[in-house]
Amino acid sequence: MTTAAATAVTQLRSEALAALEAAPDQRTLDAWRVEYLGRKGKLTGVLRGLAELSIDERKAIGAAANALKIELEAAYDARTEELRHKSISEALEHGKIDITLPAHPHRRGRLHPVTQTLREFLEAFRSMGFSIVEGPEVELDYYNFEALRIPPDHPARDMWDTLWVDYEKDGRRPMLLRTHTSPAQIRIMEEHKPPIRVAVPGRAYRFEATDTTHEWMMTQVEVLAIDEGLSLAHMKGTLLGVMRRLFGSERRIRLQCSYFPFVEPGAEVAMDCFVCSGAGCATCHGSGWIEMGGAGMVHPEILENMGIDSSRYTGFAAGMGIERLAMQLYGVPDMRYFYQNDLRVLQQF
Active site residues: 160, 180, 206, 220, 263, 317
Q: Which residues of 198-234 are buried (b: 16+ CB within 10 A; e: fewer)?
A: bbbbbebbbeeeeeeeebebbbbbbbbbbeeebeeeb
Shortest reach from residue 294's CB to ligand PHE, in Å: 3
Could you give phi then psi for residue 281, rounded to 5 degrees? -155, -175
Q: Which residue's CB is nearer to ligand PHE, number 242 or number 317?
A: 317
Residue type, 37: L
Shortest reach from residue 317's CB to ligand PHE, in Å: 4
Q: Which residue's CB is nearer to ligand PHE, number 318 or number 325?
A: 318
Q: Which residue's CB is nearer to ligand PHE, number 224 or number 284?
A: 224
Shortest reach from residue 137's CB to ligand PHE, in Å: 14
Q: Which residue's CB is nearer to ligand PHE, number 35 or number 146?
A: 146
Could you give phi then psi for residue 265, rounded to 5 degrees? -75, 165
Residue type, 241: G
Residue 88: CB partners within 8 Å, gap ≥ 6?
none
Which residues sit at the interface with ligand PHE, rule CB under 6 A? 180, 182, 260, 263, 266, 293-296, 317-319
- Whether omega for the bond prior to residue 183 falls within 30 degrees of 0, making it cis, is no
CA distance linking residue 263 with residue 257, whole number of Å: 11
Longest alpha-carbon distance in the chain: 126
Shortest reach from residue 118's CB to ligand PHE, in Å: 16
